[in-house]
Amino acid sequence: PKMKIAVRKKEERKKKKTVSPPTNMEAAFKIFEELKKEWKANNLDKVGALLPKMKIALTQMSFLPNTEQPPSEKELVLARDALEIGALWSVKTGATDAFERYISQLKAYYFDFKSLLQESEYMNELLGLNLLHLLSENRIGDFHTELERYDCSLLSNMYIKHPVQIEQFLMEGAYNRVFMSRAAVPSDSYYFFMDILLETIREDIATCCERSYTQLTRDGACKLLLLESPADLDGLAKEHDWKIENGVVYFAAHRETSATIPAKKVIERTLEYAKELERIV
């Protein structure tokens, strides 16, 4: 009996030794499966709690590959798909800063490792969302810089074409066409940045109205501000301290004090600069 017990203990020790702990890839994949499950179920709070864990797991792999270690295709796909969920989650929760960070990380997988990976089904949607995000923040220069990175074939894609058309409307000053384009978004995820952009445009129009008019009819103000109903005008009027009486909108007066130019000092400094230039020459 004692011999049998000793043999069993040895076998149990061997089993314990042979059972290896899960690899980094397996641990990350397990978290990703849970993340994907909660994302499909639209549990945004749980997705937000899982994303930091997913990032920590990715740092143990080729999360951002370098030249020292050759990237694994499985690891690249896992990291890319997890980052895409993070970017889409950021849009749904209104976390614009987080969205920008996720997009900057995804660019490595979309462009630098394009030859190693199959094209993601969310790539065009997220690249278009990034363009729309830049427009909503009035970052026109960054918009064109970003657009230069894209292949010409992408310009005909509906996700990319939509923000490109909006940028053209903005340059033309055709704000009504920008507002109309909200009804033609290629995905529901575009509504978030579209609403930010439209609100920014409406604020610019409101400022112009204050500078250009002392009063307008209620219907005329709604038409200029591209509001759907006169009721929407009440909230905007409170924000800008406008008065509405008897169907007329009275804009708050903006008096601009004329800045006096110290002509004498300007002339003296200009002459000093001229003398210094003569000495240098």
Q: Name the residue type at position 2.
A: K
What pLDDT shows up at residue 235?
Answer: 85
HEC states along 236-263?
Answer: HHHHHCCEEECCEEECCCCCCCCCCCCH
Q: How far apart are CA 63 and CA 201, in angstroms?
A: 39
pLDDT in tens, 140-167: 999 999 999 888 888 889 999 999 999 9
What percentage of the chain exceeds 90 in pLDDT? Answer: 40
Question: What pLDDT, on a 0 to 100 scale, did the predictor assign at position 23?
Answer: 65
Q: What percent of the chain has pLDDT over 70?
A: 84
| Interacting residues of 196 by C-beta distance below 8 A, sequence separation 6+ | 136
- Out of 13-17, 98-102, 175-179, 184-188, least confident range: 13-17
pLDDT at 43: 94
Please write down the HEC assignment for all residues of the chain.
Answer: CHHHHHHHHHHHHHHHHHCCCCCHHHHHHHHHHHHHHHHHCCCHHHHHHHHHHHHHHHHCCCCCCCCCCCCCHHHHHHHHHHHHHHHHHHHHHCCHHHHHHHHHHHHHHHHHCCCCCCCCCCHHHHHHHHHHHHHHCCCHHHHHHHHHCCCHHHHHCHHHHHHHHHHHHHHHCCHHHHHHHHHHCCCHHHHHHHHHHHHHHHHHHHHHHHHHCCEEEHHHHHHHCCCCCCHHHHHHHHHHCCEEECCEEECCCCCCCCCCCCHHHHHHHHHHHHHHHHHHC
Q: What digits encode the pLDDT tens for the residues 18-64? A: 444 456 778 888 999 999 999 999 999 999 999 999 988 888 775 55
Name 215's bridge partners. 250
Task: Tell me what the mean pLDDT of segment 98-122 comes to.
Answer: 90
Burial class (CB in 10 A: 0-12, 13-18, 19+), 259: exposed
Q: Measure CA of the first residue to CA of the last residue in the chain; give whole Å.
A: 108
Q: What is the mean pLDDT of residues 177-200?
A: 92
Mean pLDDT check: name the lowest of 26-35, 78-87, 107-116, 258-267.
258-267
